[in-house]
Amino acid sequence: MTSDPKRLHPAAILFFLYKDLKNWIVPAIIFVVAVYNQSKLWSILGLFALLLLITAVDIIRYRTFSYQFFDDEILVRSGIFVKKVNHIPYDRIQNITANQWFFLRPFKLEELEIETAGHSEGPEVSLVAVPVKLKDELNHYRQQFNSEEVTQNVSQETFSMEKPIKQGITEYSITWRELLKFSLTSPAFLSGLLVVLAFYGKVQQSLSKQFYEAAANEFVHLGWILVVIGLIIILLFFYLISVLVLIAKYYHFHLEKEDSQFRMQYGFFKAKKTSISQNRIQAVVVKQTLLRRMLHIASVKLVIISNSKKGETEKDIVVMPVIETAKLNDFLKKFFPHIPVDELKVKPAAAKTYYYDLRNAMIFSVITDIVLGSIMFKLSVWWLVAIVIVSALFWLPPAYLNARRARITLMNDDYVFLQNNQVTSKNSYFVPKSSIQLLERRQSVWLSNKKFAHILLNCRSGIETRVLKVKYLPQEQIDEVVAWYKKGANS
Amino acid sequence: MDKVEKLPESIKVIWRIHAIIEFVVFLVIVQAVSLIKLTMPNNIRSYFNIGEGIVIALGVLFLILSFVWVIYLWNFWTYYIDERQVQLHSGYFFRKQVIIPIARVQNVTLKQGPILKSKNLQKVVIVTAAGRSEIDGLESEQADQLKETIMKLAQEAKNDI
């Protein structure tokens, strides 16, 4: 069963155009600015020629781009001068994402991004404008291929053996309450704050010039107040925008799981549908910032192998942006039935762990005091006091949280639970033994006398290594994990 | 192979040779930098000579320390290989223990430069999906045997990524 080679929808030309125009806009502006004074005619003609050239190239690009489904692979042909033929076997596909802008909805078109574990940057193949039906067709080919594979290869491992068992569909949708809590507590607007602060410097300069020169002292006070009020309004504005953006992004977040496929669907303006196969998942992470912990909400993410080069936190696939902690266990049980959530018994952190973490923080705090203090001491003693207080506030609370959250516990033969702290946010990992690539145990002589040690689990995430690290745990807990890991290392 | 083993004793010679090579490179760099003094007046040149002397003295001290370090490193660097996993242990004051299940190994690289060849050793690099670990030197037959073991087991275990 092979399909004919197919082209994208002509609307793809518009997408190509949009991308090219984005790339060319800056050089074009430079060109116009440079030439405009000398010759208006030439600058306009030049622009026009460029536009024509881009359009022509994009039309040819559209005409040379085709895709074709085979029994075991997708074939994508592209390229104008350099012909490129890309073969993607179905069993190498990591995940498929469908993006649909709201204006494409009436035309039943969407963008399909197919990712593999290769080392290329971004998705391996991006089908810019294709009919919505195509995704089902692709999934159909994949399933057919998989079922053939399973019948041929009986000795497959437990993870993929779950496939033939029909489990039906499990689903979960985000509630409005959760979405609101999530967007309201997002620190995303702080990046907006940085922009404002940079801007503020300039505003203040021009303001003080105006006011100092023209007006009397009282007026300056008024001006200062105005600036503060203006700042607050701008901040609120950024905050509101970030809240609205987040709501639009995760609008109607819906997760469903059929057989061993996870499907996520979300977004208001740009509807995104992602599907991931269960056996691509390396670990499940539950993340909680301090503020969200107070509101009893958390995010659930997946560590997967992909070819994205984004930062560590963005790289993880969000499987549920926000969920109330009370519902978390049920959620995990529903979607990850092989994680034995009920068997999780966490012990409170040992007193010694607090001692070590706080001791280290004290050392760092004192070093900060000495370095900064030796400079500031000459100004005033109060500066020194301020530095001591601020550095203590900076170092000690994260250290306290580090100790409080440091944990590693075996759940059963296949899963380990690891929890650590990242400045103030709490990360809980559920890691299957099969995705731990390497285990490292560290201990100094002095810790050995006190029967304490560190543990590091290396997993694969994106295209890099993710090291899950817990420091200062009782030696017996760590040795238990080491023994567990050694026992069935090849399962 | 089922017991904790130290690296072959000849690796110490290789580590020392490496230390000496590094020292020679260091000396060459210092000499190259000291060419600057030709452009200096005499009175400053003497200060410069003192500075150069201190730097070289530090280099020699470092060389001696690294000779002692080689003994420490060798005494506390052990490995253990069985049918399931490779274990590497190092350090006494700061102990590190690495466990790599053979089923997770993606590929094994054996390396041999002229110095290693003279002692009939091979460097073994074990690559997993998350990073790499190195054994600085194993006797050639042992390295080949390790490679065979890993190849055999890796073929049995389906390592699907």
Q: What are the structural domain ranges in chain A?
A: 12-155, 182-249, 254-348+406-487, 351-404
> CB B130 to CB A490 under 8 A?
no
Q: A279 CB near a chain B CB, below 8 Å?
A: yes
Q: Where are the beta strands (DSSP E) in A174-280?
A: 254-258, 261-266, 270-277
Contacts of A160 in chain B (CB under 8 A): 160
| Distance between CA atoms of residues A374 and A387, nearest Å | 11
Which of B156, B158, B111 has the alpha carbon at shortest distance from B137? B111
Contacts of B97 in chain A (CB under 8 A): 440-443, 482
Phi, psi dihedral angles at A49 (to 5 degrees) = -60, -45
Q: Where are the beta strands (DSSP E) in A102-160?
A: 109-116, 125-131
Sorting pLDDT into bands at 50, 70 and 90, what band is A402?
very high
User: Which residue carries 């690495």 as its tokens?
Assistant: B98
Sorting pLDDT into bands at 50, 70 and 90, what band is B28?
very high
| Of A221 and A100, more confident | A100
Q: A490 CB near a chain B CB, below 8 Å?
A: yes
Q: Which fold has domain A12-155?
A: PH-domain like (2.30.29)
In the predicted structure, residue B160 carries a pLDDT above the cut 80? no
Q: Nearest CA to CA, how far is B138 from chain A (Å)?
A: 21
Sorting pLDDT into bands at 50, 70 and 90, what band is B68?
very high
> CB B128 to CB A440 under 8 A?
no
| Distance between CA atoms of residues A111 and A272, nearest Å | 9
**Which token pair is A107?**
């035309």
- Closest residue in chain A to residue B100, using alpha carbons only: A438
Mean pLDDT taken over chain A? 82
In the predicted structure, residue A109 carries a pLDDT above the cut 80? yes
Q: Nearest CA to CA, how far is A399 from chain B (Å)?
A: 22
Least confident of A16-25, A145-154, A193-202, B98-107: A145-154
**Which token pair is A219?**
């007026």
Own/partner contacts of A311-316, CB < 8 Å, gap of 24 or more, are A312/A461, A312/A466, A313/A287, A315/A461, A315/A462, A316/A285, A316/A461
Q: With contact defined as beta carbons under 8 Å apart, do A475 and A400 qualify?
A: no
Query: Which helix (H) or strand (E) is A42 found in, with range?
Result: helix A40-64
Chain A residues 381-420 with a CB less than 8 Å from chain B: none
Sorting pLDDT into bands at 50, 70 and 90, what band is A153?
very low
User: Mind listing the pLDDT tens digit for each residue in B83-109?
Assistant: 788 899 998 899 999 999 888 888 888
> Which member of B84, B95, B99 has the closest CB to residue A439?
B99
**Which token pair is A426?**
């709490």
Contacts of A480 in chain B (CB under 8 A): none
Q: At what angle do helices B42-75 and B11-34 cross, to 10 degrees?
A: 170
Predicted pLDDT of residue B24: 95
Q: A170 CB near a chain B CB, below 8 Å?
A: no
Q: B105 CB near a chain A CB, below 8 Å?
A: no
Phi, psi dihedral angles at B134 (to 5 degrees) = -125, 140
Sorting pLDDT into bands at 50, 70 and 90, what band is A454?
very high
Phi, psi dihedral angles at A97 (to 5 degrees) = -120, 135
* Residue of B132, B133, B153, B161 for testing the chain A interface, max A β-carbons within 10 Å: B161
> CB B101 to CB A485 under 8 A?
yes
Q: Would you call A24 helix, strand, or coil by DSSP?
A: helix
Sorting pLDDT into bands at 50, 70 and 90, what band is A315?
low
Sorting pLDDT into bands at 50, 70 and 90, what band is B70?
very high
- Closest residue in chain B to residue A439, using alpha carbons only: B99
| Distance between CA atoms of residues B3 and B160, nearest Å | 30
Predicted pLDDT of residue A490: 46
Q: Nearest CA to CA, how far is A236 from chain B (Å)?
A: 43
> CB B130 to CB A466 under 8 A?
yes
Q: Nearest CA to CA, how far is B73 from chain A (Å)?
A: 15
Q: Nearest CA to CA, how far is A150 from chain B (Å)?
A: 14
- Closest residue in chain A to residue B81, using alpha carbons only: A486
Predicted pLDDT of residue A199: 64
> CB A459 to CB B100 under 8 A?
no
Q: B96 CB near a chain A CB, below 8 Å?
A: yes
Give percent of chain B with pLDDT exceeding 70: 96
Predicted pLDDT of residue A408: 92
The full 3-state SS of chain B, as one line of letters, equals CCCCEECCCCHHHHHHHHHHHHHHHHHHHHHHHHHHHHHCCHHHHHHHHHHHHHHHHHHHHHHHHHHHHHHHHHHCCEEEECCCEEEEEECCCEEEEEEEEHHHEEEEEEECCHHHHHCCEEEEEEEECCCEEEEEEEEHHHHHHHHHHHHHHHHHCCCCC
Sorting pLDDT into bands at 50, 70 and 90, what band is A222?
low
Task: Tell me the mean pLDDT in the region B8-35.
Answer: 91
Degrees to nearest 5, angle at CA A76 with A71 and A77: 130
Q: Would you call A4 helix, strand, or coil by DSSP?
A: coil
The number of C-beta contacts closer than 8 angstroms across A and B is 79
Give percent of chain A with pLDDT exceeding 70: 85
- Closest residue in chain A to residue B104, using alpha carbons only: A437
User: Which residue carries 């000579």 as its tokens?
Assistant: B49
Phi, psi dihedral angles at A223 (to 5 degrees) = -60, -40
Can you give the pTM of this predicted structure?
A: 0.78
Least confident of A47-51, A209-213, A464-468, A479-483: A209-213
Q: With contact defined as beta carbons under 8 Å apart, do A85 and A77 qualify?
A: yes
> CB B99 to CB A448 under 8 A?
no
Predicted pLDDT of residue A100: 87
> CB A441 to CB B94 under 8 A?
no
> Which member of B84, B94, B98 has the closest CB to residue A440?
B98
| Distance between CA atoms of residues A218 and A212, nearest Å | 10
| Of A296 and A201, more confident | A296
Which of A159, A194, A441 has the alpha carbon at shortest distance from B100? A441
> CB A445 to CB B92 under 8 A?
yes
| Distance between CA atoms of residues A296 and A322, nearest Å | 10
Least confident of A93-97, A162-166, A303-307, B82-86: A162-166
| Distance between CA atoms of residues A394 and A386, nearest Å | 12
Instruction: Please report the sign of the dihedral spanned by the C-alpha atoms of residue A424, residue A322, residue A249, residue A128.
Output: positive
In the predicted structure, residue A94 carries a pLDDT above the cut 80? no
Contacts of A442 in chain B (CB under 8 A): 94-97
> Which member of A305, A442, A445 has the closest CB to residue B161?
A305
Query: Which helix (H) or strand (E) is A409 found in, with range?
Result: strand A407-410
Q: A438 CB near a chain B CB, below 8 Å?
A: yes
> CB B130 to CB A279 under 8 A?
no
In the predicted structure, residue B20 carries a pLDDT above the cut 80? yes
User: Mind listing the pLDDT tens digit for each residue in A348-399?
Assistant: 888 999 999 999 999 999 999 888 888 877 777 888 888 889 999 999 999 9
Q: B4 CB near a chain A CB, below 8 Å?
A: no
AA letter at B86: V
Q: With contact defined as beta carbons under 8 Å apart, do A312 and A447 qualify?
A: no
Q: B42 CB near a chain A CB, below 8 Å?
A: no
Sorting pLDDT into bands at 50, 70 and 90, what band is B21?
very high
- Closest residue in chain A to residue B105, using alpha carbons only: A437
Task: Tell me the mean pLDDT in the region B28-35.
Answer: 89
AA letter at A47: L
